[in-house]
Amino acid sequence: MEPIDALNEIATLLERERASRYRSKAFRAAARAIEGLGFEELSDTAALRRRKGIGDSSLAVIREALEGRVPRYLAELRDADARPESRLRGQLRGDLHAHSEWSDGQTSIDLMVEAARALGHDYLALTDHSPRLRVARGLSAERLREQLTVVDGFRFDDFTLLSGIEVDILDDGGLDQDTGLLDDLDIVVASVHSSLRMERSRMTARLVRAVSQPQVDVLGHVTGRLVRGERGTRPPSEFDAAEVFAACAAHGVAVEINSRPEREDPPDELIRMAIQAGCVFAIDSDAHAPGQLSLLDEGAARAERLGVPSDRVVTTWSRERLQAWTASR
């Protein structure tokens, strides 16, 4: 196989398993370092060692690929990559929750777009964080306007990059961005990232107020829980789920089924409640790197197992129907 393809696939698989971001970034840097090099240049081991971005591990991958073999490290990652299967996964048309290096994502917008297109997506919403989340380099109104000009430059016949944001839900249920600017976006995912242990009645009122605002399209990772992973575990926020989901259904806000395995949010029992409440859903990756876009496999398998009707999953809809839905709300 081509060395550059091997390096990029290794980075993608490392991103999917949420390995150290430094490892995946190192392999992507190595792929960039050999762009445009021919066979003879790639065969010059001494010269490659001197090239910035090439380390021992990436050099070994390049040499094994040039020898006509699947590099050993890549083969190991492929063997360890167990993905759940579901019929629903094949019906998904896009993803409404993804991040780039503009906030806390690992890569550029163009690499996220390239990965989404490779997965066969019709659309991807770019939803970097809002300003209050400083640890994630959230976008001020000025930076978001700047990003919108970049998003507008991505034009394809078979794919649409949707403008968007993951806006922080403030303690009082308000939204952490200029309302007029939110009106201009294709997709607004509203999520809680602070005061997660807020008292139950206050958290309920906070979420209900957030989803009652016409700018909000998707309620992101509703409980905020973590069930595994390098960040440890975190209990779910406490709120009246019946009241929150009734508000989502009344206002046409999609409940996100977050596909990240460390979240599994909402929990199974809350997904069942949301189905009974008549909610629509968005199966999203919450990707922070290109390889994580494929985590939709996980969310689709959970949704299918729990009986979520496919016609109530907005990410199975065409871009035209999706945008008509957000506009009508």
Q: Which of 255, 267, 262, 300 is nearest to 16 (CA)?
A: 262
Amino acid identity of residue 28, one-letter, is: R
Q: Which of 326, 244, 329, 310 is nearest to 93 (CA)?
A: 310
Asked if 245 and 273 count as a contact pair (C-beta separation under 8 A), the reply is yes
Q: What is the pLDDT of residues 91-141, one digit of tens each?
A: 999 999 999 999 999 999 999 999 999 999 999 999 999 999 988 899 999
**Domain co-membership, 204 together with 314:** yes
Kindly state the helix (H) or strand (E) to which residue 284 belongs, with its residue range: strand 281-284
**Domain co-membership, 148 together with 290:** yes
Two structure tokens written together for 314: 């907005």
Mean pLDDT of 238-262: 98
Mean pLDDT of 248-257: 98
**Domain co-membership, 97 together with 73:** no
Confidence of residue 84 (pLDDT cuts 50, 70, 90): very high
**Domain co-membership, 68 together with 7:** yes
**Domain co-membership, 160 together with 56:** no
The yes-or-no verdict on residue 20 having pLDDT over 90 is no
Asked if 319 and 93 count as a contact pair (C-beta separation under 8 A), the reply is yes
Q: CATH number of the domain that 277 lies in?
A: 3.20.20.140
Percentage of the chain with pLDDT > 90?
94
**Domain co-membership, 76 together with 92:** no
Confidence of residue 329 (pLDDT cuts 50, 70, 90): confident
Q: Quote the CA–CA distance of 273 and 262 in Å, as a whole number.
A: 21
**Domain co-membership, 146 together with 61:** no
Q: What is the mean pLDDT of the chain?
A: 96
Q: CATH number of the domain that 29 lies in?
A: 1.10.150.110
**Domain co-membership, 63 together with 174:** no
Percentage of the chain with pLDDT > 70?
100
Q: Quote the CA–CA distance of 172 and 282 in Å, as a whole number.
A: 25
The yes-or-no verdict on residue 22 having pLDDT over 80 is yes
Confidence of residue 232 (pLDDT cuts 50, 70, 90): confident
* pLDDT the model gives residue 318: 98
Q: Quote the CA–CA distance of 298 and 260 in Å, as a whole number.
A: 7
Among 54, 80, 106, the domain-final residue is 80
**Domain co-membership, 24 together with 95:** no
Confidence of residue 230 (pLDDT cuts 50, 70, 90): confident
Q: Quote the CA–CA distance of 23 and 16 in Å, as a whole number.
A: 12
For 140, which DSSP code?
P
Domain count, the chain: 2
**Domain co-membership, 68 together with 212:** no
Q: Quote the CA–CA distance of 137 and 178 in Å, as a whole number.
A: 17
Tell me which residue range forms the domain holding 42: 3-80
Q: What is the pLDDT of residues 46-75, one digit of tens each?
A: 999 999 999 999 999 999 999 999 999 999
Compute, in degrees rounded to 10, the torsion defined by CA atoms 302, 305, 306, 311: 90
Among 51, 80, 109, the domain-final residue is 80
Mean pLDDT of 210-219: 98
| Rounded alpha-carbon distances, angstroms, from residue 255 to 6, 193, 249, 277 | 37, 16, 9, 11
